Structure 1
Amino acid sequence: MDFSTTPIPGLLEFTTTPYRDDRGFFSRTFEADTARAAGLEPEAFVEDSLSRSLGGVVRGIHVRTGRGEGKLVRCSHGRVFDVVVDLRPTSPTYLTWLSFILDGDVQNSIYVPPGCGHAFQALTPLADTSYRIDRRHDPSENLTICHDDPDLAIPWPLPVTVQSAGDRDARTLAELPQDLGRILAAP
Structure 2
Amino acid sequence: MRVVTTPLPDVLVFLPTPHRDDRGFFTRTFDTAIFDAAVAEHTGLSVRAADFRQDSQSRSAGGVLRGLHGRGGRGETKLVRCAHGAVQDVVVDARPDSPARGRSHTVVLDDVEFAHLLVPPGFLHGFLTLSDTADVCYRIDRPHDPTEDVGVRWDDPELAIDWRAAPESLSARDAAAGSWADLLAR
For the pair 1:161 / 2:168, whether they are aligned, the reply is yes
For normalisation by structure 2, the TM-score amounts to 0.93
**How far off its partner does 1:177 sit?**
2.9
For residue 3 of structure 2, give the secondary structure of its aligned residue in structure 1: strand
Instruction: Spell out, residue by residue over 1:75-96, the C-alpha distance to the aligned partner (whole angstroms, 9 max, x if none).
Output: 1111100000000010011101
Amino acid at match of 2:9: P
Alignment of 1:4-153 (within 5 A): 4-39=4-39, 40-153=47-160
TM-score (norm 1): 0.93
In the alignment, the residues of structure 1 paired with residue 100 and residue 160 of structure 2 have an alpha-carbon distance, to the nearest angstrom, of 16
Partner of residue 182, structure 1:
none
**SS of equivalent residue, structure 2 residue 147:** helix
Percent identity over the alignment is 49
Q: Which amino acid aligns with 1:129?
A: V
Q: Unpaired runs of 5+ in structure 2?
A: 40-46
* Structure 2 CA distance for aligned equivalents of residues 164 and 38 of structure 1: 35
Structure 1 outlier segments of 4+, above 6 Å: none
Stretch deviating more after TM superposition (129-138 or 37-46): 37-46
Aligned residue identity for 2:174: D
For these two proteins, the number of residue pairs brought into alignment is 179
C-alpha distance in 2 between matches for 1:124 and 1:156: 14
What CA distance in whole angstroms lies between the structure 1 residues aligned with 2:35 and 2:183? 33
CA-based RMSD:
1.0
The aligned amino acid for 1:94 is R
Structure-2 separation of matches of 1:59 and 1:83: 10
Aligned to 2:42: none
